[in-house]
Chains A and B, each alone.
Chain A
Amino acid sequence: MRDMVPVQARDGLSELRRGVLEYCVLAVVSERESYGFDIVRYLGRSGGLVTSEGTIYPLLARLRRDGLVTTSWRESVSGPPRRYYRITEGGRRSLEAFAADWDAFRAAVDRVLAGRSGEGEADG
């Protein structure tokens, strides 16, 4: 039974990651126009945000369909032209709304977690 706990926690984390990843992608392309691998590299450097890097491409396709990002082809110094992603006005609005919600959400989770650890210390 004890082994089950970390597995469930990891599943919960991957759900959470999946939910926030699109906004992280929007945040990256809101700073500057980027191509796929660029976005993945940046998110990878930020640590633990992307587990299967390949799944970023279906996500980018959806953001494009939803009109949150636009793309343009650019020549690259090495190899074939690359598809660059840039945020749209709609994408920016969506990102701002999420950023505000996220602040409140994070604060709430932090408060609950802090309260629980406080109780744990009292019990111990």
Chain B
Amino acid sequence: MAEELIADYLARLDAAAMALTPTRREELRAEVAEHIESALADAGTRDEATVRNVLDRLGRAEDIVEAEAEAGPTSLTRGTMPAAWPPTTQRGWGWVEVLGVLVLSLGSLVLLVIGPLVGLVFVWASDRWNGRQKWIATAIVLIAMVAQFVLIAALFDVGMHGVQSSPTTMIPEPVFTAGPQPMFTAGPVPSMPEGSVSGSSGGTSLLTLWLIALTVFPISTTGSWLAAIYLALSMRRQ
């Protein structure tokens, strides 16, 4: 019972000391624990009444931590941080975070573009990542997607019309529908031979399109994976 009282007191101190730097928190805990041991050694007994008396004289654990804040901001993490710090339960992985990272990394395998975007919605719904981390993840995903579209558009253009074609006039609309779902572009492609340099190139361009799609397809997926890895790592650092 007496030992439980001590453990309870130190646990309360730990909880109250969350706003302190980890170093100072450990130091303070060690000093208070040592104080309790010294006082009990001094009293020559560890019965419940003695332990209660020692803990009463120490004062409330919360008051000790409060005195730490009064003693100067240097023992706190940083001026405004303690207020901004969410309580213990608000840190680490929750289901929103797990879903966010999972959908972000696997979503593109299920549904291109839409999958990772749904993942990002979960990420933005979470309060465990800060705004900066959310923006970085979003930027990685979007830049990879845009890069994929641009590459597909450019390569598609070259594949369809040859290098001589002017890219400004020759970006046909179907290119963009081909972007998100390059696997399904085989159908519509032959229906737009107007831009072709020669009719004989139709078969090759279909093959080229497939190759382009396969080569370029992993770019946005890789972007989503990178974003997911980044978010998972920044969670571990917290």
Interface residues of A (CB under 8 A from B): 35-38, 40-41, 44, 51-55, 57-62, 65, 78-80, 82-83
Contacts of A37 in B (CB 8 A): 34-35, 38-39, 42
Contacts of A57 in B (CB 8 A): 28, 31-32, 35, 64
Give CA–CA (A80, B68) in the complex, Å.
Answer: 24
B61 touches A61 (CB 8 A): no
Chain A to chain B contacts (Cβ below 8 Å), 24 pairs = A36-B38, A41-B42, A44-B57, A52-B57, A52-B60, A52-B67, A53-B35, A54-B32, A54-B58, A55-B59, A57-B28, A57-B32, A57-B35, A58-B71, A58-B75, A59-B67, A60-B31, A62-B72, A65-B75, A79-B34, A79-B37, A79-B38, A79-B41, A80-B34
Chain A to chain B: the 9 pairs with minimum beta-carbon distance, closest first: A52-B59, A37-B38, A62-B71, A55-B67, A54-B64, A58-B68, A54-B58, A58-B67, A58-B71
Contacts of B34 in A (CB 8 A): 35-37, 79-80, 82-83
Give CA–CA (A44, B67) in the complex, Å.
Answer: 19
Q: Take A52-B63, A53-B57, A53-B59 as given contacts and tell me if A58 and B35 are in contact as well, using a CB distance cutoff of 8 Å.
A: no
Contacts of B42 in A (CB 8 A): 37, 41
The listed residue with most B CB atoms (<10 A of its CB), out of A51, A52, A54, A79, is A54
The listed residue with most B CB atoms (<10 A of its CB), out of A52, A57, A79, is A57
- The chain B residue with its CB closest to the CB of A57 is B31
B72 touches A55 (CB 8 A): no
B63 touches A55 (CB 8 A): yes
Interface residues of B in 23-61 (CB under 8 A from A): 24, 27-28, 31-32, 34-35, 37-39, 41-42, 57-61
Give CA–CA (A37, B60) in the complex, Å.
Answer: 17
- The chain A residue with its CB closest to the CB of B75 is A61
A54 touches B27 (CB 8 A): no
